[in-house]
Amino acid sequence: MKFDTPATTNPIDQLKVIGKPLDRIDGRFKTTGTARYSYERHDVVPNPAYGHVLGAAIAKGRIKSFDLAAAKSAPGVLAIVTADNAGALDKGKNNTAKLLGGPEIEHYHQAIAVVVAESFEQARAAAQLIRVDYQDDGGSFDLRAGMADAKPAKVLGGPADSAVGDFATAFAAAPVQLEQMYSTPDESHAMMEPHATTAVWDGDRLTLWTSNQMIAWGVGEVAKTLKMPKENVRLVSEYIGGGFGSKLFVRTDAILAALGARAAGRPVKLTLQRALVFNNTTHRPATVQRIRIGADKDGKITAIGHESWSGDLPGGKPDGAVSQTRQLYAGANRMTATRLAVLDLPEGNAMRAPGEASGMMALEIAVDEIAEKLAMDPIEFRILNDTQVVPDNAKEASKESQTVGSASKSELPFSQRQLVQCFQTGRDRFGWAKRNPKPGEVRDGRWLVGLGVAAAFRNNQLTKSAARVRLEQDGRIVVETDMTDIGTGSYTIIAQTAAEMMGVPIDKVVVLLGDSAFPVSAGSGGQWGGNNSTAGVYAACIKLREMIAQKLGVNSAEAAFTDGEVRTGARGVALADAARDGALSAEDGIEYGDLDKKYQQSTFGAHFVEVGVDAATAEIRVRRMLAVCAAGRILNPKTARSQVIGAMTMGVGAALMEELVVDKRRGFFVNHDLAGYEVPVHGDIPHQEVVFLDETDPMSSPMKAKGIAELGICGVAAAVANAVYNATGVRVRDYPVTLDKLIDKLPAVG
């Protein structure tokens, strides 16, 4: 199905099942321990061997020699695979470094060997017996030291640099100016389920039960890496215990499980130990950001500039921290710049809301700071500088318009933009009017109390997605698509879509996901999964409805599918009657035209946070949180709320505790486990309220939905930091906001 005109009234608009806060249909499997995760596929591999990965002990250099003798003779060892005996390997197009290193080493904990043994303990013990002689070439591990040599690098969906008007002149002339530097640290996804794979060979055919967000991408990457035909690779990911972007691309566990299984002649289970999740897989890269804002005395932005520096391995990509600044606030004179330094740290790559999450950590503090200089309420300042068109349409502008002094040649309207309404709704609901604008003035016993706010912004991305839908003889509807569920509720909203379209209760729908044998879906990532995957199911259901109508001899355009029947006028026929002679199956997908070129599709929100800061110790406690979101039709308010509060929690972590500490001598993340890398726990998070504005976006898809999973994190950290400033009068611009950055600057205890 081609979606190239705005959606009109369609069966989804009935809202009998769609839009209802239904429980997750996968919930009972997860709560009873019967959900089948990749490492636990005892049903398909009853007697596997076990793999254990050895990571490099240097960050850059080469392996001069291996001594494998002791490991090979250790009890239970079946095989040891290194680059020397793995055979010819390629590198996946989405991998910055090789997934099996040697002899060259590109980063610390790059996998250099996998030991396969009868038990996990035997494989782990044998791996410790491997002796490696390295040539250590040192390396570059300090972003600030590398900034001077950083080079322009394109961000996702746009150029490295953008310019509209004459920023330098306008900023210099602005009567009110802000210029500040901000920094965000390296962060880890730290998902609950580590990267894990069970690998089985059947002749020259490979099946991987693996934890992966993008099945079709994964098939291609495995085939390319192992130099084998794609049709000989099958990936299955029925359940994923957290990904947050770290499992968008195939990682070491999948490739080394496959290589180990081939070498041992046995199925192999392999999970990355937690330290390798931090240093072997991807992370959110650190940034240094310079923001300049000029405004007139009435508070209108006249100049806005955002520059960002981040680092990655050679051939890597930058953090897109400037992306939202091109679209979020009005201002006639603008510039953004992205610079990438070459660092020999583990690979930086996508983490929940890549770009916007880190960019808004800086931008939304800067906006508060310029508002304070203007003596304006920070919400009023944001509302005053709202825009209904993209002020810097960098992805559409021609090369000539990317130079200083040129204007973007096209003004792209937003399909929907309720940012102002988000702020107004949240302001009233949160009690913002009670906020004292003078920092450090409100106390509750020993606690200094402050309120903070920030905008939320994330673009809506469209990507084609397909599904197969089948009507069984007993009236059940079966949906098959390689879409994954990374804890987001995919099983449920896909079932709701099919139930709505086919006129059956949700318990009459069976959803099968995460298998490369199924039609290729959008996959999970970038908050594009829900809207696109359900749109693909919608398309397949339209085709199945036409087949059923034809089988029953009715006009599909006039037929109503409701309560398990197909009705035309006063006549109703049981849906199952159409499959009396055998199941009916239809396959189709959604493909998009150019509506996203004519209208900018984005999601918006406002985050409100109240914190308490201990007046003596500077301990920070988040007391309450509110998110107001405008993100198209909400397909299931319950699962959507779960996504937002999870994202809000991650935002608190980014604000107050998360930081991968770099050993700048040896080039690795020191706190590479969940004891040293702190993330929020239940005791850190208070009541969280989420409000969804009533919105549908007919430009987006037949579902009129967009995305929500990443919007919930964007701006949260800045709202926390702004609240801490309001509570204490101490402005922290280098995350995380920890008590050592506050304690000697707090107001006197009286």
Active site amino acids: 710
CA–CA dist 196, 187 (Å, integer): 21
DSSP state of 197: E
End-to-end CA distance of the chain: 69
Q: What angle do CA 298, 304, 308 make, to 5 degrees?
A: 150
Contact at 8 Å (CB) between 319 and 348?
yes
Question: How many residues are recorded in the chain?
Answer: 750
Return the SS3 of 44: coil
CA dihedral 491, 496, 499, 505 (to 10 degrees): 100
CA–CA dist 74, 80 (Å, integer): 11
**What are the two backbone dihedrals, phi and then psi, of residue 84, each rounded to the nearest 5 degrees?**
-70, -30
Strand partners, 615: none
How far is residue 124 CA from its own chain's centroid? 32
Omega within 30 of 0 (cis) for the link into 736: yes
The dihedral through the CA atoms of 702, 704, 709, 715 has a sign that is: positive
CA dihedral 116, 122, 124, 125 (to 10 degrees): -130
Contact at 8 Å (CB) between 337 and 322?
yes
Q: What angle do CA 656, 662, 666 make, to 5 degrees?
A: 165
Strand partners, 67: 131
CA dihedral 342, 348, 350, 351 (to 10 degrees): -130
CA–CA dist 313, 264 (Å, integer): 33
CA–CA dist 603, 632 (Å, integer): 8
Contact at 8 Å (CB) between 195 and 252?
yes
Burial class (CB in 10 A: 0-12, 13-18, 19+), 539: buried
Token pair in block for residue 689: 């309220």
Beta strands 151-152 and 333-342, pairing class: antiparallel
